[in-house]
Structure 1
Amino acid sequence: MSSDAGSVGERSRRVVRADRDELISGLAFAPDRFQIEAFDALDAGRNVVVAAPTGSGKTVVAEYGIAADRVDGRRSFYTAPIKALSNQKYRDLVEIHGEHAVGLLTGDNSINGDAPIVVMTTEVLRNMIYAGRSLDDLATVVVDEVHFLQDTYRGPVWEEVIIHLPHHVRLIALSATVSNVDELAEWIGTVRGPTVAVVERKRPVALDNKYLVADRDENKLHLLEMFIGGGLNRDALKLDESAIRRRPRQDDRGNNRRQSRPTSGGRRLATPGRIDTVELLHDKGLLPSIFFIFSRNQCDEAAKACVDAGIVLTDDHERTAIAGIIDERLSGLDPDDLEVLGYDRFVRQLDAGIAAHHAGMVPAMKEVVEACFIAGLVKVVFATETLAVGINMPARSVVIEKLTKFTGDHHEQLTPGQYTQLTGRAGRRGLDEVGDAVVLWSPWTRFDEAAQLASSSSYHLRSVFRPTYNMAANLIRTHSADEAHRLLNLSFAQFQADRDVVRIEARLERKRETLREKLAEAESPYGDIDEYRGLRDAASAERRQRRNGVSSGQMRGAMAKLKPGSIIRVSHGDVKGPVVVVATAHRTSGVRLTAITKGEALIQIDGEDLVEMPEPVGSIKLPSNFGPQRKGYRRDVAKRLRTADIGSDKQVIRSNPSGRRPLHHDDLDVARDPDLRIRLEAAARADRLQDEITKLQDRVSDKNQSLGDEFDRVLTLLDEWGYADVAEWRLSEHGEMLASVFNETDLLVAEMLREGLLDDLEPADLAAVVSCVVYEHRSPDDPPAPWFSSKEVRSRWIRLAAISEELRTDERRLGLGEHRAPDPTFAAIAHAWVAGEGFAEIVDEEELTGGDFVRTMKMLIDLLRQIAKVAPSPSVRRAAGRAVDEAVRGVVADGSSSS
Structure 2
Amino acid sequence: MTELEAFAAELPFALDDFQRRGCAALEAGHGVLVCAPTGAGKTVVGEFAVHLALAAGKKCFYTTPIKALSNQKHSDLVARYGSERIGLLTGDVSLNSDAPVVVMTTEVLRNMLYAGSRALDGLAYVVMDEVHFLADRMRGAVWEEVILHLPDDVRLVSLSATVSNAEEFAGWIQTVRGDTTVVVDEHRPVPLWQHMLVGRRLFDLFDYSKHGAEPTGKPKVDPELLRHIAHRREADRMLDAEPRGRGRGRPGGRGGYRPPSRPDVIATLDREGLLPAITFIFSRAGCDGAVGQCLRSPLRLTTDDERARIAEIIDRRCADLADGDLAVLGYHEWREGLLRGLAAHHAGMLPVFRHTVEELFAAGLTKAVFATETLALGINMPARTVVLERLVKYNGEQHAPLTPGEYTQLTGRAGRRGIDVEGHAVVLWRPDDGAAEPSEIAGLASTRTFPLRSSFAPSYNMTINLVSQLGPAAARALLERSFAQYQADRSVVGLVRGADRGRKLLAEITRDLGEDAEPILDYARLRAAITDKEKSQARSSRLQRRRAANDALAELGKGDIINITHGRRGGLAVVLEPARDPDDPRPLVLSEHAWAGRISTADYSGPAGAIGTMSLPKRVEHRQPRVRRDLASALRSAAKGLDAPSRRRGRGHVDADPDIDPELIRLRQRLRSHPAHEVGDREAKLRQAERYLRIERENAAVDRKIAAATNSLARTFDRILGLLTERGYVRAAGAEEVRVTDDGRLLARIYSEADLLVAECLRTGAWNGLNPAELAAMVSAVLFEPRGSDGPAAQPDPPTAGLRSTLAATRRLHGDLRREESRHRLEPSREPDAGFAPAVYRWATTGDLTAALMEFESSGGPMPAGDFVRWCRQVLDLLDQVRNAAPDPALRAAAKRAIADVRRGVVDVDAG
Same fold (TM over 0.5): yes
In 2 relative to 1, CA 407–284 (structure 1 residues): closer, same or farther, beyond 3 Å?
Answer: same
For the residue of structure 2 that corresponds to 1:50, the secondary structure is strand
Q: Which of residues 722, 725, 731 in structure 2 aligns to 1:725?
A: 731
Alpha-carbon distance, 1:238 to partner: 4.8
Aligned AA for 1:145? E
Look up the match of 1:670: none
Structural mapping, 1:219-618, within 5 Å: 221-228=201-208, 229=212, 230-240=219-229, 259-262=252-255, 270-442=258-430, 443-444=432-433, 445=435, 446-500=437-491
Alpha-carbon distance, 1:125 to partner: 0.8
Aligned AA for 2:748? A
In 2 relative to 1, CA 194–323 (structure 1 residues): closer, same or farther, beyond 3 Å?
Answer: same
Alpha-carbon distance, 1:777 to partner: 1.1
CA distance in structure 2 between the partners assigned to 1:132 and 1:350 by the alignment: 46
CA distance in structure 2 between the partners assigned to 1:867 and 1:526 by the alignment: 55
CA distance in structure 2 between the partners assigned to 1:227 and 1:860 by the alignment: 54
In 2 relative to 1, CA 351–136 (structure 1 residues): closer, same or farther, beyond 3 Å?
Answer: closer
Alpha-carbon distance, 1:26 to partner: 1.9
1:206 and 1:427 in contact (8 A); partners too: yes
Alpha-carbon distance, 1:704 to partner: 2.2
Structure 1 gap segments, 5+ residues each: 1-16, 215-219, 247-256, 263-267, 506-516, 529-622, 628-693
Alpha-carbon distance, 1:700 to partner: 3.3
Per-residue Cα deviation, 1:715-743 (whole angstroms, up to 9, x for no partner): 11112222222564112221111011100
Aligned AA for 1:407? N
Residue 838 in structure 1 maps to residue 838 in structure 2: no
CA distance in structure 1 between the partners assigned to 2:804 and 2:345 by the alignment: 37
For the residue of structure 1 that corresponds to 2:127, the secondary structure is strand
Structural mapping, 1:800-819, within 5 Å: 800-819=810-829
Per-residue Cα deviation, 1:677-696 (whole angstroms, up to 9, x for no partner): xxxxxxxxxxxxxxxxx999
For the residue of structure 2 that corresponds to 1:399, the secondary structure is strand
Look up the match of 1:63: 47
Look up the match of 2:677: none
CA distance in structure 2 between the partners assigned to 1:708 and 1:785 by the alignment: 38
Look up the match of 1:875: 890
Residue 763 in structure 1 maps to residue 772 in structure 2: yes
CA distance in structure 2 between the partners assigned to 1:131 and 1:234 by the alignment: 62
Look up the match of 2:105: 121
In 2 relative to 1, CA 765–225 (structure 1 residues): closer, same or farther, beyond 3 Å?
Answer: same
For the residue of structure 2 that corresponds to 1:835, the secondary structure is helix
1:77 and 1:118 in contact (8 A); partners too: yes
CA distance in structure 2 between the partners assigned to 1:704 and 1:439 by the alignment: 44
Aligned AA for 2:438? F
CA distance in structure 2 between the partners assigned to 1:853 and 1:281 by the alignment: 35
- TM-score with structure 1 setting the length: 0.73
Per-residue Cα deviation, 1:810-846 (whole angstroms, up to 9, x for no partner): 3233222222221100000111111123113322553
1:498 and 1:703 in contact (8 A); partners too: yes
Aligned AA for 1:141? V
Look up the match of 2:787: 778
Per-residue Cα deviation, 1:738-762 (whole angstroms, up to 9, x for no partner): 0111001111111121222210111
2:770 and 2:802 in contact (8 A); partners too: no
Q: Which of residues 81, 98, 109 in structure 2 aligns to 1:97?
A: 81
CA distance in structure 2 between the partners assigned to 1:74 and 1:841 by the alignment: 50
CA distance in structure 2 between the partners assigned to 1:48 and 1:317 by the alignment: 45
Residue 884 in structure 1 maps to residue 899 in structure 2: yes
Q: Which of residues 10, 17, 21 in structure 2 aligns to 1:33?
A: 17
CA distance in structure 2 between the partners assigned to 1:500 and 1:735 by the alignment: 35
Look up the match of 2:160: 175
Alpha-carbon distance, 1:626 to partner: 8.0
Residue 139 in structure 1 maps to residue 148 in structure 2: no
Per-residue Cα deviation, 1:531-573 (whole angstroms, up to 9, x for no partner): xxxxxxxxxxxxxxxxxxxxxxxxxxxxxxxxxxxxxxxxxxx
For the residue of structure 1 that corresponds to 2:782, the secondary structure is coil
2:205 and 2:442 in contact (8 A); partners too: no
For the residue of structure 2 that corresponds to 1:780, the secondary structure is helix
CA distance in structure 2 between the partners assigned to 1:311 and 1:385 by the alignment: 25
1:272 and 1:441 in contact (8 A); partners too: no
1:408 and 1:780 in contact (8 A); partners too: no
Q: Which of residues 753, 756, 763 in structure 2 aligns to 1:744?
A: 753
1:103 and 1:118 in contact (8 A); partners too: yes
CA distance in structure 1 between the partners assigned to 2:281 and 2:493 by the alignment: 34
2:468 and 2:740 in contact (8 A); partners too: yes
CA distance in structure 2 between the partners assigned to 1:372 and 1:497 by the alignment: 45
Aligned AA for 1:221? R
1:470 and 1:738 in contact (8 A); partners too: yes
In 2 relative to 1, CA 472–235 (structure 1 residues): closer, same or farther, beyond 3 Å?
Answer: same
In 2 relative to 1, CA 114–870 (structure 1 residues): closer, same or farther, beyond 3 Å?
Answer: same
Look up the match of 2:143: 158
In 2 relative to 1, CA 764–813 (structure 1 residues): closer, same or farther, beyond 3 Å?
Answer: same
Per mean C-alpha deviation after superposition, the further-off stretch among 440-449 and 135-144 is 440-449
CA distance in structure 1 between the partners assigned to 2:908 and 2:173 by the alignment: 39
For the residue of structure 2 that corresponds to 1:55, the secondary structure is coil
Per-residue Cα deviation, 1:780-811 (whole angstroms, up to 9, x for no partner): 36534413122221111122122222222332
1:80 and 1:144 in contact (8 A); partners too: yes
Where is the helix percentage greater, Structure 1 or Structure 2? Answer: 2
Per-residue Cα deviation, 1:277-299 (whole angstroms, up to 9, x for no partner): 11110110000101110111111
In 2 relative to 1, CA 759–433 (structure 1 residues): closer, same or farther, beyond 3 Å?
Answer: same
Alpha-carbon distance, 1:244 to partner: 5.9
Alpha-carbon distance, 1:468 to partner: 0.5
Alpha-carbon distance, 1:240 to partner: 4.6
For the residue of structure 1 that corresponds to 2:768, the secondary structure is coil
1:397 and 1:435 in contact (8 A); partners too: yes
> What do you get for the CA RMSD once the two structures are aligned?
2.7
In 2 relative to 1, CA 504–206 (structure 1 residues): closer, same or farther, beyond 3 Å?
Answer: farther
2:279 and 2:387 in contact (8 A); partners too: yes
CA distance in structure 2 between the partners assigned to 1:451 and 1:799 by the alignment: 56
CA distance in structure 2 between the partners assigned to 1:695 and 1:777 by the alignment: 38
Per-residue Cα deviation, 1:184-210 (whole angstroms, up to 9, x for no partner): 111111101111111111112100011
Structure 2 gap segments, 5+ residues each: 213-218, 237-249, 497-538, 551-659, 665-699
CA distance in structure 2 between the partners assigned to 1:695 and 1:113 by the alignment: 53
Per mean C-alpha deviation after superposition, the further-off stretch among 717-726 and 494-503 is 494-503
Per-residue Cα deviation, 1:161-181 (whole angstroms, up to 9, x for no partner): 000100000000001111111
Per-residue Cα deviation, 1:331-369 (whole angstroms, up to 9, x for no partner): 111011111111111111111111111111100011111
CA distance in structure 1 between the partners assigned to 2:854 and 2:291 by the alignment: 22
Aligned AA for 2:894? A
Alpha-carbon distance, 1:259 to partner: 4.5
Residue 200 in structure 1 maps to residue 177 in structure 2: no
1:290 and 1:383 in contact (8 A); partners too: yes
Look up the match of 2:692: none
1:472 and 1:714 in contact (8 A); partners too: yes
CA distance in structure 2 between the partners assigned to 1:802 and 1:299 by the alignment: 41
Alpha-carbon distance, 1:524 to partner: 11
- TM-score with structure 2 setting the length: 0.72
In 2 relative to 1, CA 79–414 (structure 1 residues): closer, same or farther, beyond 3 Å?
Answer: same
In 2 relative to 1, CA 815–269 (structure 1 residues): closer, same or farther, beyond 3 Å?
Answer: farther
